[in-house]
């Protein structure tokens, strides 16, 4: 059978739109949490569980689909995850109880958690070493586009038509999987690998912890945990934090939309720097910028300070995310790359379980939001130390 080929830009566009839909779903959830809190009279702890159940699903999905990506191919798993999170998210619009909403959010999370590491692995394996880092960061930049779509839907749809209509819109990406079926080739590295490697799932998991990869695995698990813990703790609660500081729901959505715009230059500067200064430089610099911005945001007293700190938080945090997605697949050979990236992402999703719960619990007990953001700052700095001590530079190295 003749191998299907695809240009770099077309690959980036096709995979990027899938990534954008993923971000749109996560982004809408942050606004839906704020609306559900009002509509269903949720406590902060109950609202925190919505984000945490999403992350539990993402942890399970990252492991399951990461492992299967090494067995059945990157493309098949990419399509399956897209369908899973779209259908489950659309169905969640029709729930009338928190219990059923949480059950569906678990399956949404499974799809979301599986798609991201698999899509970045597919793209990383399909482009040349000299531009691999830049292209994967640009893939991540579609996340900002998805958040912008989410913010626009939330600003214009939720106040007028309700959160249910917003969630119905998140079912539409399922149709995109049909287009993927015909337009997207699988990773050339996976195609070559399956010709000579028949390995068990357990062997792949075990090899992620084999001696040549132990330091990389430990480093990635720490960094993923700290980054996802802080990201979901901070960003899923942004509209609610704004309301806690005295802004109404509409104003909160507007401010978060402006903050989200700052993600784009964060991605583009990271994409420009990653092939010039290296992965470690970009990760360390942008994570330190995130930590400083988190402290200022948590202690902000005025709308202007809150907005500026929030924009820098978006700029640095999402730039770091882009670099992390570029860095992760580069730590492993093709035969275990999907498994390694999936397990690392899963360790992060465990952090994503505790982040939103921590905010909800501490706010319910009357703690000031500045204390919560200080905790996120410390977590991010632990990730920085792990990169400096255990990380290796992979700039323009050919993938095994």
185 CB-side CA count, 13 A: 18
166, 165, 179: which is closest to 24 by C-alpha?
Answer: 166
CA distances from 52 to 19, 47, 225 (A): 21, 9, 14
pLDDT band at 3 (very low <50, low <70, confident <90, very high): very low
User: What is the predicted pLDDT for the residue at 2?
Assistant: 39
Q: How do the domains of the chain map onto residue ranges?
A: 8-390
**Residue that has been written with the tokens 């470690």 in this structure:** 280
Tell me the CATH architecture of domain 8-390: Up-down Bundle (1.20)
Q: What is the Cα–Cα distance from 62 to 387, expressed in whole angstroms?
A: 22
> Read out DSSP for 207-229?
HHTSGGGHHHHHHHHHHHHHHHH
pLDDT surpasses 80 at 236 = no
153, 306, 160, 167: which is closest to 244 by C-alpha?
Answer: 306
Instruction: Work out the average pLDDT over 225-238.
Output: 82
Structure-block tokens of residue 268: 């583009």
User: What is the predicted pLDDT for the residue at 239?
Assistant: 66
Report if pTM > 0.85. no
pLDDT band at 195 (very low <50, low <70, confident <90, very high): very low
Structure-block tokens of residue 195: 């010709």
């Amino acid at each position: 059978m003749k191998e299907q080929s695809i240009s770099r830009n077309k690959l980036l566009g096709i995979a990027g739109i899938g990534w954008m839909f993923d971000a749109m779903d996560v982004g809408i959830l942050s606004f839906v949490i704020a609306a559900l809190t009002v509509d269903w009279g949720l406590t902060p702890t109950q609202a925190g569980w919505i984000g945490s159940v999403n992350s539990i699903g993402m942890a399970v999905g990252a492991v399951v689909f990461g492992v299967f990506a090494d067995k059945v191919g990157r493309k098949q798993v990419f399509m399956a995850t897209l369908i899973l999170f779209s259908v489950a998210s659309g169905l969640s619009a029709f729930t009338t109880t928190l219990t059923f909403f949480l059950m569906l959010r678990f399956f949404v999370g499974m799809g979301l958690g599986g798609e991201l590491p698999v899509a970045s692995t597919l793209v990383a394996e399909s482009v040349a070493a000299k531009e691999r880092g830049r292209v994967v960061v640009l893939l991540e930049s579609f996340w900002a586009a998805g958040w912008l779509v989410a913010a626009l839907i939330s600003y214009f749809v939720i106040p007028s038509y309700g959160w249910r209509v917003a969630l119905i819109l998140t079912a539409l990406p399922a149709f995109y999987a049909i287009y993927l079926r015909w337009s997207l080739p699988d990773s050339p590295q996976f195609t070559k690998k399956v010709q000579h490697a028949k390995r068990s799932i357990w062997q792949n998991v075990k090899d992620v912890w084999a001696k040549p990869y132990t330091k990389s695995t430990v480093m990635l698990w720490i960094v993923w945990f700290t980054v996802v813990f802080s990201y979901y703790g901070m960003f899923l609660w942004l509209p609610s934090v704004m309301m806690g500081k005295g802004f109404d729901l509409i104003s909160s959505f507007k401010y978060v939309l402006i903050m989200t715009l700052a993600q784009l230059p964060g991605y583009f500067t990271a994409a420009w720097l990653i092939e010039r200064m290296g992965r470690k430089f970009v990760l360390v610099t942008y994570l330190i910028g995130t930590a400083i911005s988190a402290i200022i945001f948590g202690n902000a007293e005025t709308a202007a300070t809150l907005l500026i700190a929030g924009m820098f938080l978006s700029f640095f945090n999402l730039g770091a995310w882009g670099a992390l997605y570029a860095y992760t697949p580069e730590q492993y050979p093709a035969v275990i790359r999907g498994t390694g990236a999936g397990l690392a992402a899963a360790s992060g999703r465990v952090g994503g379980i505790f982040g939103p719960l921590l905010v909800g619990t501490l706010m319910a007990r009357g703690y000031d939001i500045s204390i919560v953001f200080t905790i996120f700052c410390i977590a991010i700095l632990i990730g920085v130390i792990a990169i400096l001590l255990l990380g290796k530079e992979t700039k323009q190295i050919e993938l095994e």
